[in-house]
Chains A and B, each alone.
Chain A
Amino acid sequence: MLVVDNLGISLGQTRALRPLSFSLDAGETLGIVGESGSGKSITALAIMGLLPEVMQASGSILLKGENLLALDESSLCALRGRRMAMIFQEPMTALNPVMTIGRQIAEGLVLHGLMTSEAAASEAVRLIERVGLPEPELRAHSYPHELSGGQRQRAMIAMAISCRPALLIADEPTSALDVTVQAEILALLREIREETGMGMLFISHDLAVISKLANRTLVLYGGAAMEMGETQALLAAPRHPYTRGLIAAIPRGNAHTTPLRPIRGHVPELHGLPDGCPFHGRCLTGTDLCRRSSPAPDVASTTAWCHHLDGGQGA
């Protein structure tokens, strides 16, 4: 359904994303994990055609066979919200404060010519009920500030699924929420995916969250793919040193007996990054080769981009 081929994003001379390819089937969820600046959010924005004007995308993004990067703005507007929708990280600021929840949900339905405004208003109430908000009639007339963070994120989800899009992009949808609310939102997303059969791109910095929802996972670092594969395989037997470091860095067990294992060093600046593997500076197995040239994909239990797959302990 979604085929991303050699998608590259540049900001002037800086490569924000190195050529990246992946695909997504209907009903499937691809998790994209990475730290801030890894390129995961701009990948999502590139698919939606909402990259900041200073950034240029190259390659191709095919949604049901149509190359999104070749479309003009008005064709993209017709697709956005209709065939592909997006949920953002900050439920506090991602809803318009001066518009009622009901109107914000109904807006897309009317905009894409699916319904009259009366029908859309009652559909909005139905959607509010669907995403599990109590007293849907009342909530439809509420303003965002009258809802809690979790409730707002549910409203965002209702808005995103209103036009039954084929592709749903969720950019850190739970990162700003309490842990208990996180679990509820993840359960809701899973339910809706089963019900509608839409494909989902689930973006998070949190491997634990990704593992609850994603069939396959793509690990990004410094604007380049590190490893991609079935989520279970990737978590059980990570092959890339970065993935191993990421998994090892998840806090577990008793804080007194199990020391935290951060990855040494800092995320590099994308500007002026050498051609080689962006992780080489922090990688325990990094060699001169890693600095000079990008590794080719190595397909085994997962696909990994590393020169030294069989050596060392990683980070």
Chain B
Amino acid sequence: MTLAVAALVVFWILEVLPGDPAATMLGISATPETIAALRTELGLDQPPVARFLGWITGMFSGQLGISYAYRVPVGGLIAERVAVTLPLAVLALMLASSIGIALGTLAASKANSVIDSVVMGVAQLGLAIPNFWFGLLFVLLFSVTLGWFPSGGFPGWSGGILPAFQALVLPALALALPQSAVLARLTRSSLLETMGEDYIRTARAKGLTRGQTLRRHALRNALVPVLTMMGLQFSFLVAGTIIMENVFALPGLGRLLVQAIGGHDLILIKNLVLLFVGAAVIVNAIVDIAYGYADPRLRVSRP
């Protein structure tokens, strides 16, 4: 349902967008005749409803259409780029959650201490700094000065996992840091709130130290709002990959989208945007499933 609405909105926005893809493709020297011929070839002369239905039915049969600019099937083009962007997003999400939850837990366990203030101060800084700037800084430090990681480009997965992974570490970290700052703050406040619950007192009465109570009893309860936030953040993460792929010259979906927009490659744009929407829907479904693991009260029925 969400996807259907998204498809309609995407299609409609691109429809009202000014500029003729056929004219853009042929350049300024094109004659009205050649433009008209290309429009017929691309199917742009058909009414919008027919083109929309054609797109949707094509999607179900795996025929996403031919890219106007690249002249190759959109499906293959996207699949090639997903192999870069998906690992990047997953790596960034993993980094963001592990760094964020670890720092948030540390700050909460030493609440109102120097460590707490330092961690929260750093998190505030992480929130304030945009991710592309982190990217540029990382390139300067780790690539140019230290030479640990490549400064950009992507060797592809065929050359082995390690070089490909190395190419993704810096952009993923740059993407993850601002997100982990949000997660750290949320984890801290959620944990401190949970530490005031009655069952925390019960755990303390059992003989657990404050630290043990925090890790064994409070953390899992405190993670439910953190999970929600991670689901919401995924959209920002995807938006971030668009920027980061351009900073690090990674041949991913984000760069493809930017190029497609530049070239008025409407068919590529609408498929890419729909893919991003689909990814967000899937991630939120995963978050819903994860709720059940985190909190048994949210399970519909016992297995």
Interface residues of A (CB under 8 A from B): 48, 50, 73-74, 77-82, 85-86, 88, 90, 93-99, 107-108, 111-112, 143, 145-146, 156, 159
Q: Is B41 an interface residue (CB 8 A)?
A: no
Q: Is B246 an interface residue (CB 8 A)?
A: no
Are B295 and A80 in touch, CB under 8 angstroms?
A: no
Are A77 and B209 in touch, CB under 8 angstroms?
A: yes
Contacts of B202 in A (CB 8 A): 88, 94-96, 156, 159
Complex CA–CA separation, A291 to B102 (angstroms): 56
Q: Say which residue of A74, A98, A156 sits within 8 Å of B296 (CB atoms).
A: A98
Q: Give per-residue flags for B289-303: 1 if the beta carbon is below 8 A from chain A beta carbons, else 0.
A: 000001111000010
Complex CA–CA separation, A199 to B270 (angstroms): 74
Are A145 and B296 in touch, CB under 8 angstroms?
A: yes
Q: Say which residue of B201, B216, B221, B297 sits within 8 Å of A50 (CB atoms).
A: B201
8 A-B residue pairs with CB within 8 Å: A73-B209, A81-B208, A85-B205, A94-B199, A99-B220, A108-B206, A111-B206, A159-B206
Which chain A residue shows the least CB distance to B202?
A: A94
Given A88-B198, A93-B197, A143-B297, residue A99 in contact with residue B217 (CB < 8 A): yes
Given A98-B294, A98-B295, A143-B296, residue A93 in contact with residue B198 (CB < 8 A): yes
Interface centre among A99, A145, A146 (most CB of B within 10 A): A99
Q: Say which residue of A48, A74, A95, A99 sits within 8 Å of B205 (CB atoms).
A: A48
Q: A77-B207, A146-B302 are in contact. List 9 more A-B contacts (CB 8 A).
A: A81-B207, A86-B205, A94-B198, A97-B296, A98-B220, A98-B294, A107-B203, A145-B296, A145-B297
Q: Say which residue of B205, B207, B294 sits within 8 Å of A112 (CB atoms).
A: B207
Contacts of A112 in B (CB 8 A): 207
Which chain A residue shows the least CB distance to B299?
A: A143
Q: Say which residue of B205, B216, B220, B221 sits within 8 Å of A80 (CB atoms).
A: B205
Complex CA–CA separation, A50 to B302 (angstroms): 36
Contacts of A77 in B (CB 8 A): 207-209
The smallest C-beta distance from A309 to any residue of chain B, in angstroms, reads 38
Q: Is B204 an interface residue (CB 8 A)?
A: yes
The smallest C-beta distance from A170 to any residue of chain B, in angstroms, reads 12
Are B209 and A90 in touch, CB under 8 angstroms?
A: no
Using C-beta atoms within 8 Å of the partner chain, give the interface range for chain B: 20 to 34
Interface centre among B203, B216, B294 (most CB of A within 10 A): B203
Complex CA–CA separation, A143 to B221 (angstroms): 13
Contacts of B302 in A (CB 8 A): 146
The smallest C-beta distance from A251 to any residue of chain B, in angstroms, reads 30
Contacts of A85 in B (CB 8 A): 205-206
Which chain A residue shows the least CB distance to B207?
A: A81
Complex CA–CA separation, A95 to B205 (angstroms): 12
Contacts of A79 in B (CB 8 A): 207
Contacts of B205 in A (CB 8 A): 48, 50, 80-81, 85-86, 88
Which chain B residue shows the least CB distance to A99?
A: B217
Are B208 and A96 in touch, CB under 8 angstroms?
A: no
Contacts of B220 in A (CB 8 A): 98-99
Contacts of B203 in A (CB 8 A): 96, 107
Complex CA–CA separation, A82 to B206 (angstroms): 8
Contacts of A48 in B (CB 8 A): 205
Complex CA–CA separation, A98 to B206 (angstroms): 17
Are B201 and A94 in touch, CB under 8 angstroms?
A: yes
Complex CA–CA separation, A159 to B208 (angstroms): 13
Contacts of B216 in A (CB 8 A): 107
Contacts of B198 in A (CB 8 A): 88, 90, 93-94
The smallest C-beta distance from B130 to any residue of chain A, in angstroms, reads 36
The smallest C-beta distance from A222 to any residue of chain B, in angstroms, reads 24
Which 4 pairs of residues, A with B, have the shortest CB-CB distance? Answer: A81-B207, A81-B206, A93-B198, A80-B207
The smallest C-beta distance from A158 to any residue of chain B, in angstroms, reads 12
Contacts of A90 in B (CB 8 A): 198
Q: Give per-residue flags for B261-303: 1 if the beta carbon is below 8 A from chain A beta carbons, else 0.
A: 0000000000000000000000000000000001111000010
The smallest C-beta distance from A172 to any residue of chain B, in angstroms, reads 12
Are A98 and B201 in touch, CB under 8 angstroms?
A: no
The smallest C-beta distance from B194 to any residue of chain A, in angstroms, reads 10
Are A78 and B209 in touch, CB under 8 angstroms?
A: no
Q: Say which residue of A95, A96, A99, A111 sits within 8 Å of B207 (CB atoms).
A: A111
Are B296 and A107 in touch, CB under 8 angstroms?
A: no
Are A97 and B204 in touch, CB under 8 angstroms?
A: no
Contacts of A156 in B (CB 8 A): 202
Interface centre among A85, A94, A143 (most CB of B within 10 A): A94
The smallest C-beta distance from B191 to any residue of chain A, in angstroms, reads 14
Are A80 and B296 in touch, CB under 8 angstroms?
A: no
The smallest C-beta distance from B195 to any residue of chain A, in angstroms, reads 12
Complex CA–CA separation, A97 to B221 (angstroms): 8
Are B207 and A97 in touch, CB under 8 angstroms?
A: no
Q: Give per-residue flags for B210-236: 1 if the beta carbon is below 8 A from chain A beta carbons, else 0.
A: 001000110011000000000000000
Are B201 and A74 in touch, CB under 8 angstroms?
A: no
Complex CA–CA separation, A74 to B297 (angstroms): 34
Complex CA–CA separation, A214 to B220 (angstroms): 39
Given A98-B294, A145-B296, A145-B297, residue A93 in contact with residue B209 (CB < 8 A): no
The smallest C-beta distance from A102 to any residue of chain B, in angstroms, reads 13
Which chain A residue shows the least CB distance to B302?
A: A146
